[in-house]
A and B are shown apart, each in its own frame.
Chain A
Amino acid sequence: MKLTAQSVKKDFPRASKSSNYFTAVQTLDFALESGKMVEITGRSGSGKSTLLNMLAGMLTPTSGKVFLDDTDLYALDEKSLARLRNEKIGLIPQGHTALLSLTVLENVLLPAILYNRQNPPVDRAKALLMDVGLEALMTAKPNELSGGELRRMAIARAMLMRPSILLADEPTAGLDNENTLAVLGLLRKAADEGAGVLLVTHENEAAQFADEVYVMDSGKLSTQ
């Protein structure tokens, strides 16, 4: 499976009336293939997360198209796009994204219950939690977990539906070295198992896990 961005560009309107908009992502092409782990690095505000959100089907580009194989994401209606994201794209957003009223195991199971699947894959969720080292915290509530543990939980949740594409936005931000390496190792493992993994990060250590590294600067993407 291949995720492709063709001539995508993103402008945001400015709050001030002096100029109409600013360009977060300049017109660019990008491709992410199964089994590859690609890193995009760059300073804050360079447009990395904006690009990732466009690739995830979460943010409509101002121009250009995003394809998952032959499917034009933004040509789909909202319901179909959401369903496709649920089934094919695992998104690990920035920060903490847990539902505080649910246990860790239930948080991981969430993507599987959104479309009323009869039997949520509890065994797979438990296996993933074991992979990310959270088997002892399955019944804990998110507010009992550290920042690193919450990130690992988010990775397990993003991988539950066996997505073809895994998009991780700053998954190691604020983590100590040990947790950073653990998270990067998990993403590498996902790529090795066949997923296309896009990692947006500031971490220098990430490069050694990635197959390709891109740099984003002022909305322009270039190879390192």
Chain B
Amino acid sequence: MLTLKNLPWRNLKGYAGRTAALLLFAALMAVAVFGGTMMIGGVRNGLDTVKSRLGADIMVTPESAKNEFDAQTVLLKTEPGYFYMDASVVDEIRSIEGVEAASPQLFLASAKAGCCSARLQMIAFDPATDFTIQPWIEDTRLSGNLGLLDVIIGSNVSWASAASDNLIRFYDTECNVVGQFAPTGSTLDSAVYMNFDTCKALIQACREKGMFKYEKLDADAIVSSVMIRVAPGYDSEVVADAIRDKVDGVSVATATNMVSGIADSLNHISGTIAALIVAFWLLGMLMTVLLFTLMMNARKREFASLRAMGASRGILSGIVVREALTVNLLGGAIGVLLTGVILFSFNRLIGESLGAGFVLPPVPMTALLAAAALISVILATVVSAWITVHKVNTMDASLVLKEGE
């Protein structure tokens, strides 16, 4: 049954072509605002996550590994690899002023066809001194006490293809997968984490297969990297310089260096996306206003007829505003929904395309951004409806009706 409340909806249904165009532009505005802010938020979130997961102020690696390890890109793209230096550097580093904690890590890479479709980076930590991976394990609510041949896999390590019955095989050695980390949007997601004993056992297995490229090294006397936490009140760069001066044969990178690649991408992406948001929103609003103005001209006899029937200006305004709100909110919701589905389905691909760490914002933030996108669409509604309402209310209905058909 026809009512004043459903009259706007009936009008929208009656002008299907115009309504479809309005839906499209409202959806476009929502996609631009929601998609754009989610992308910026995703890259920013990725940067924050990587910073927190890196957990160290300084990372020391062998100078000889320069070809395999680039501090500025290692978190974004790197081939799994391994390199070593003498374990004595750990004590040398600990003796430097400003170093509060130093914990060694040991690296290995899986064989290409050993377990998975691609090679995996293995990162081992020293449970006694580690301050980077164990907090991550605790945050993920996993047991911090990894036993021999227990591993935790990064979020990008495909569980289905990598594991069967919670087992993953490296160099014919079966390891227990005891958990999987949440994504960080960095290469940390493609690694397998274990303690030193497990890594040493895998180095031995690798060696036995003749695949270990450093045959003469003693696995008990080597480390791949040293993660350093700087004492409060000390500058990371100053401490890094001190390490460079006093420890031979090492390459020193600060966390700032390591995330600078992501930070640069963030700045670049944020600027581009912000410009696109503004451009698409303005285009969407312009088209919405244009369509509403055209609608007003096409339907001015309808509005004048309603005046003749006794509709007050308030009633006509209500009809126009409800039409605008209905179509724009529906279009906005479609845009938000589509964007959400695409972002959540292809977030990894998007991160790779952007060349930056990409972690989608958490649900409450996503909901806030979706609401902001809808509010931006409502803003366009207000502008377009105001222009139309103004025209409807200032037109001379008697003159419009006298003009004939």
Seen from chain A, the residues whose Cβ lies within 8 Å of a Cβ on chain B are 49-50, 53, 56, 58-59, 78-79, 82-87, 89, 91, 93-102, 106, 109-111, 113-116, 120, 122, 157, 169, 173
Contact = CB atoms under 8 A, between A and B. Distances in A.
A95 B402 CA distance: 8
Given A94-B404, A97-B305, A83 B310 contact: yes
> What 10 pairs across the A-B complex have the smallest Cβ distances?
A101-B14, A86-B310, A97-B305, A53-B398, A93-B401, A82-B312, A58-B398, A85-B310, A95-B405, A59-B398
A106 B307 contact: no
A19 B10 CA distance: 47
Contacts of B14: 99-102
Contacts of A106: 2, 10
Nearest to A170: B404
Contact of B405 (A50, A79, A96): A96
Interface of B is mostly: helix
Interface in B10-51: 10-11, 13-15
B308 A58 contact: yes
Contacts of B248: none
A100 B307 contact: no
A109 B2 contact: yes
28 contacts: A53-B401, A56-B308, A58-B401, A59-B398, A79-B314, A83-B310, A85-B309, A86-B310, A87-B310, A94-B404, A95-B403, A96-B301, A96-B405, A97-B301, A97-B305, A99-B306, A101-B13, A102-B10, A106-B10, A110-B306, A113-B2, A113-B4, A114-B309, A116-B3, A116-B4, A120-B1, A120-B2, A157-B309
Interface of B: 1-5, 7, 10-11, 13-15, 301-302, 304-315, 396-398, 401-405
A169 B306 contact: no
Contacts of B304: 93, 97
A56 B7 CA distance: 25
Contacts of A111: 309-310
Nearest to B302: A99
Nearest to A116: B4
Contacts of B401: 53, 58, 93-95, 97, 169
Nearest to A154: B305
A102 B2 contact: yes
B393 to A, nearest CB: 9
A117 to B, nearest CB: 9
B307 to A, nearest CB: 7
B305 to A, nearest CB: 4
A142 to B, nearest CB: 10
A82 B308 contact: no
Contact of A82 (B3, B5, B305, B311): B311
A157 B310 CA distance: 12
Nearest to A80: B312
A123 B312 CA distance: 26
A82 B317 CA distance: 14
A98 B314 CA distance: 20
Given A99-B11, A100-B14, A114-B306, A78 B2 contact: no
A91 B309 contact: yes
